[in-house]
Amino acid sequence: MLTEKMEAAINAQINAEIYSSYLYMSMATWFDAEALPGMAHWMRVQAQEEMTHAFKFYNYINERGGRVVLSAIDGPATEWDSPLAVFQAVAEHEAKVTGLINGLMDLALEIRDHASSSFLQWFIDEQVEEESSAADTVGKMKLAQDNPSALLMLDKDLAARVFNPPVWLVI
């Protein structure tokens, strides 16, 4: 059974994951308006991944006998100065999410909740991938930013991303 403190912290993380999905959908709409459909697609896939993370936390609370309590989601940013600025915002956001996940792990270790610690390890590993992917794309954006042809090539590359829902996902 989850402690009240851990349950509240994971519920807050569900909110953060849903916000992340909302933010990436907002970024997708910006890229659509900028005629960069590959980047818009990449953001939609990222939004789906974030909702998957929210459901993973949701299922965990239920499995541990807790109760999921949803709260209001803040509105995301809707405007950016450039494609590079969008991906820099992605990198900053993923670093923030890493801090949230690390905070959950710190709590699990503090209260000796070994089941939650084990569960959270997947998210810690996932955040390494998320931050690496964002940094890689920022680097490519910096190379392409003053070259429209390179930007279009990068847009095409980012369009190849595929969302593969995990087999455990039940919505």
Q: Which residue has the tokens 């100065």?
A: 81
Expressed as residue numbers, the domain containing 31 is 4-158
| Widest CA span in the chain | 55
Specify if 83 maps to a domain. Answer: yes
CATH at 53: 1.20.1260.10
Q: How far is CA 76 from CA 36, 80, 125, 127, 137, in A?
A: 20, 12, 26, 21, 21
Specify if 170 maps to a domain. Answer: no
In angstroms, the CA 50 to CA 66 distance is 21
Specify if 166 maps to a domain. Answer: no
pLDDT of residue 1: 87
Q: What is the pLDDT along the chain (171 residues), one digit of tens a residue?
A: 899 999 999 999 999 999 999 999 999 999 999 999 999 999 999 999 999 999 999 999 999 999 999 999 999 999 999 999 999 999 999 999 999 999 999 999 999 999 999 999 999 999 999 999 999 999 999 999 889 999 999 999 999 999 887 776 665
pLDDT of residue 163: 87
pLDDT of residue 164: 83
Task: Name the packing angle between helices 114-144 and 37-63 (round to 10°).
Answer: 170
pLDDT of residue 94: 98
Other C-beta atoms closer than 10 Å to the C-beta of 47 total 20
pLDDT of residue 170: 60
Q: How many domains does the chain have?
A: 1
What sign has the CA pseudo-torsion 28, 13, 129, 163? negative
Specify if 165 maps to a domain. Answer: no
